[in-house]
Amino acid sequence: MKKIILSLCVIAGMVSCDNQYESNKNQIDKMETKDINDVHSYAQFDQAYTTHLFLDLVADFDKKTLTGVAAHTIQNNNASEIVFDIKDLNIDKIITNDEGKEVKFEIGAEDKILGKPLTVQITPKTTRVEIYYSTNPTSEAVQWLSPQQTADKTDPFLFTQGEAILTRSWIPIQDSPGNKITYSARFKVPDSLTAVMSAKTTSHKNGEFEFEMNQPIPCYLIALAIGKLEYKSLGARSGVYAEPSMMEACYNEFSDLEKMIDAAEGLYGPYAWEQYDVIVLPPSFPFGGMENPRLTFATPTIIAGDKSLTSLIAHELAHSWSGNLATNATWDDFWLNEGFTVYFEGRIIEELYGKDYADMLSILSYNGLLAELEDLPAQDTRLKLDLEGRSPDDGMSAIAYDKGCFMLMMIEENIGREKFDQFLNSYFDHFKFKNLNTEEFLAYINEKLPEVKKLNLEEWIYKPGLPSNCPKIVSAKFDKVDANFESKIYLENPRSTNDWTTHEWLRFIGKIDTSWSITDFEQADKLFDFTNSGNSEIAAAWFEKSIRADYKIVYPQLEAFLVKVGRRKFLTPLYRAMKETGNIETARNIYAKARPNYHFVSTNTMDALLK
């Protein structure tokens, strides 16, 4: 492990990270927010934009609503109006500080993807706009869970998911990643429940919670969860929130968290957000994890019992630099968030578990990337996307994640790790608390590392497909799996697989093709019981192969899995496999039972797939 660079906060002792932010503030104030041109927001940043948001909301679990006020402190460029994004919100009244009374506002026509523009009349003197509103139970960002949908089944649960453009469905806001704001919040929740946010909890008593986020963040990172939660510390600056019955398993699974933070700091500089906690949500959470600052939101499907799926936590932690510090200016530049993060995740994993382990992950990603390159329309296989008129969700493919990562690996391979690490350190430092687009990235890297000019970065970024200089990763561990699989050694000697990790099993299952008979499936199940695997990655990979081979034995477990788990990464390939093998009616029947457990992010994709 490399030498650990202590965070500035630790070195300075009494100096908090808020002050660290203050010292950067002049730099941040130079951000050209007024120049933001984001096709996924109605906001007119050249007129007026939010710099700080204060939320004061009551969470009503019976009505499934959040009600209260969103107060925006604004930078006003002599404007007569300010425009916010809203979707499925009820706007009650709006008060500005200079008028001291209700002001006129107008709500424009609805766009299915973007929602509606909320235009508020202001004067050049307005510095604060208070929007009184409530959400609807159908808000796309907020998922209200009944006690039955939680692990403990005793209390209801709520969580929000803002990325990409869902924050506007629970907060009236200028919903673009290009504008970074600070926020504070006050929530009233039922007495027995705990509220947590992507912010520091500054006070809590009798169901009233207060929060502060003093570092500027893009608003898709504003996040809230409310439930019966316990907290357990994992180290000096890390810990885990979970439902009581899940706590022990979560605590054990994440015991390497502090080491991960140390490894990440050793690579790319101080962790900027003081505290790093993880909250394990109920299974309906649509993503593997969401990198909400200070508090990663995670799916329970990564609790495998052997830490084998915690690379996901390395990924979310890496976002504390790539994405949360240096943020994509628009969703067309999404690869800047995810490509860097997958690369960084691999480096953390390599520090903690060795190169062999990281290489296996890279090869699994590479194979996933090849599959998506075949599926996607050519224009969507360019790193720089063009999502105008479409949902930013369309850009959440392996292209941003894995093609982005492989381009960075290619640069490293060509210029050397030491030099590339120096570059990345200066990159994160230069763009911290700012946003950038792809063109700014290109300008920056061409200036700092002129030797990349011969590496065809433009081809990677603006052309479809995978350029010929993509690195080739080899893995001796996977070669062994391949040999075992092909000569069927595992049948005579199942113990030859004893030291395999999840990645080796995924490689094994990935090799199953149409030559496999039902007998082959039965034999493998008899030896390894894949159908009943408690490891969600292994189970999902096995189910997909089984559906395609018409190995019907898996269906009861498949159905139970789909009804319980709402993680889109698993749902899409499984429902698609059923659809493509003539089992769409079965898929629809399972989906009818499962749909109430899924978040909008997942139902939106599955509705389209199974329509």
- The Cα–Cα gap between 503 and 473 comes to 15
- Which tokens in the block code for residue 74? 């604004």
Site string for Zn ion, 314-353 (x = CB under 5 A): ------------------------x--x------------
What are the two backbone dihedrals, phi and then psi, of residue 300, each rounded to the nearest 5 degrees?
A: -70, -5
- Minimum CB separation of residue 320 from Zn ion in Å reads 11
DSSP string for residues in 329-381: SSGGGHHHHHHHHHHHHHHHHHHHH-HHHHHHHHHHHHHHHHHHHHHS-GGGG
Is the CB of 341 or the CB of 365 nearer to Zn ion? 341
Contact present, 322 and 312 (Cβ < 8 Å) = no
Pick between residue 274 and residue 338 the one whose CB is nearest to Zn ion.
338
Q: Which two tokens stand for residue 419?
A: 């030099």
Task: List the one residue out of 289, 425, 399, 288 whose CA is nearest residue 333.
Answer: 399
Give CA–CA dist 262/351, Å, rounded.
10
CB of 289 to Zn ion, least distance (A): 7
Closest CB to Zn ion among 122 and 267?
267
Nearer Cβ to Zn ion (338/393): 338
Query: In this complex, which beta carbon is closest to Zn ion, that of residue 57 or of residue 264?
Result: 264
Active site residue 401: yes
What residues from 349 to 388 belong to the interface with Zn ion (CB under 5 A)? none
Whole-number Å distance between alpha carbons of 329 and 169: 21
Give the whole-angstrom CA distance, residue 36 versus residue 75.
14
Report the 10 Å Cβ neighbour count for 123.
Answer: 14
Residue 439 among the catalytic residues: no
Q: Which is nearer to Zn ion, 399 or 512 (CB)?
A: 399
Catalytic position from the list 140, 316, 345, 504: 316
Minimum distance from residue 287 beta carbon to Zn ion (Å): 8
The Cβ of residue 267 has, within 10 Å, a number of other Cβ atoms equal to: 21
Q: Using alpha carbons only, give the angle 43, 44, 48 rounded to the nearest 5 degrees.
A: 100
Of the candidates 190, 184, 248, the residue with the CA atom closest to the CA atom of residue 217: 184
Print the binding letters for residues 279-318 with Zn ion: x by CB under 5 A, - otherwise. ----------------------------------------
At closest approach, how far in Å is the CB of 336 from Zn ion? 11
Q: In terms of Cα–Cα distance, which of 234, 242, 314 is closest to 280?
A: 242
Least spacing, CB of residue 337 vs Zn ion, in Å? 7
Task: Compute the least distance from the CB of residue 315 to Zn ion, in Å.
Answer: 6
CA distance 161 to 515: 42
Query: Closest CB to Zn ion among 270 and 288?
Result: 288
Measured CA to CA, the distance from residue 91 to residue 172 in angstroms comes to 9
- Rounded to an integer, what distance in angstroms lies between the CA atom of residue 530 and that of residue 539? 6
Residue among 210 and 277 whose Cβ is closer to Zn ion: 277
Whole-number minimum distance, CB 553 to Zn ion, in Å?
Answer: 35
Written as six digits, the tokens of 190 are 């039922």
Which of 132, 357, 401, 490 does the annotation list as catalytic? 401
Kindly identify the residues of this chain, within the stretch 101-120, that bind Zn ion according to CB under 5 A. Answer: none
Q: Cis link prior to 164 (omega < 30° from 0)?
A: yes
DSSP 3-state of 431 = coil
Output the smallest distance, CB 338 to Zn ion, in A.
Answer: 5
State how far the Cα of 80 lies from the Cα of 125, in Å rounded to an integer.
Answer: 9
* Strand 289-290 with 326-328, pairing: unpaired
- Under rule CB under 5 A, how many of the chain's residues touch Zn ion? 2
Q: Minimal CA–CA distance to 382: which of 364, 399, 363?
A: 399
Residue pair 107/566 in contact (Cβ under 8 Å)? The answer is no
* Residue 158 Cα distances to 272, 360, 562, 611, angstroms: 28, 36, 20, 28
Which CB atom, from 341 or from 475, has the smaller least distance to Zn ion? Answer: 341
CB of 341 to Zn ion, least distance (A): 5
Residues that bind Zn ion (CB under 5 A): 338, 341
Q: Which residues are catalytic?
A: 316, 401
